[in-house]
């Protein structure tokens, strides 16, 4: 009886882990597919991008628990994860692809600027604005 119960519990745990890993794997695959299309990545770059996105989503999973317990720390780590991912992506791109990357970054900065203007008009402090920008642009 104990063996059957233990086998059932281990199967349930394995199924849960497999489902979570499958979900992350789907997110990684979707992100890599979108980025491959955007930057026209070659085979070697697709492999590198897969590693970068796996690390990105692993880091997101690692900090997810902070979202409800320490929002400030969560947002700081979220921002650091985004910056690290972007830096890794930039390093692997060629000159032509970097032009597209820089255009994407410019669009993100314009969006952030609009958010900052909106929040300043609401009278938020600099720290509150910074955290709101991180949350809205990474969320």
Q: Could you report the per-residue pLDDT of 88-139, keeping only the tens digit for each?
A: 999 999 999 999 999 999 999 999 999 999 999 999 888 888 888 888 887 5
How many of the other CB atoms lie within 10 Å of CB of 8?
A: 10
Residue extents of the structural domains in the chain: 2-138
Is 46 strand, coil or helix?
helix
CA atoms within 13 A on the CB side of 96: 5
Q: Which tens digit of pLDDT belongs to each residue from 56-101? A: 999 999 999 998 898 889 889 999 999 999 999 999 999 999 999 9
Say what the pLDDT of residue 135 is.
Answer: 82
Handedness of CA 63, 66, 70, 75 (dihedral sign): positive
Quick one: tokens of 95? 């000159």
Quick one: tokens of 94? 């060629």
Does the pTM surpass 0.85? The reply is no
Query: Left if phi > 0, otherwise alpha if psi is -120 to 50, otherwise beta: which for 40?
Result: left
CA nearest neighbour of 52 among 74, 80, 81, 20: 81
- Name the DSSP letter for residue 42: -
Distance of CA 30 to the CA centre of its chain: 12
d(CA 62, CA 64): 6
């Amino acid at each position: 009886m104990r063996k059957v119960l233990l086998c059932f519990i281990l199967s349930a745990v394995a199924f849960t882990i497999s489902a979570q890993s499958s979900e992350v794997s789907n997110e990684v695959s979707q992100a890599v597919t979108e980025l491959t299309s955007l930057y026209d990545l070659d085979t070697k770059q697709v492999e590198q991008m897969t590693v970068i996105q796996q690390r990105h989503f692993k880091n997101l999973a690692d900090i997810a628990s902070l979202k409800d317990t320490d929002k400030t720390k969560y947002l700081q780590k979220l921002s650091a994860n985004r910056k690290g991912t972007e830096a890794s992506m930039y390093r692997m791109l060629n000159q032509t692809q970097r032009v597209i990357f820089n255009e994407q970054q410019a669009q993100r900065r314009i969006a952030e600027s609009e958010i900052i203007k909106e929040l300043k008009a609401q009278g938020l402090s600099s720290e509150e604005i910074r955290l709101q920008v991180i949350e809205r642009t990474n969320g």
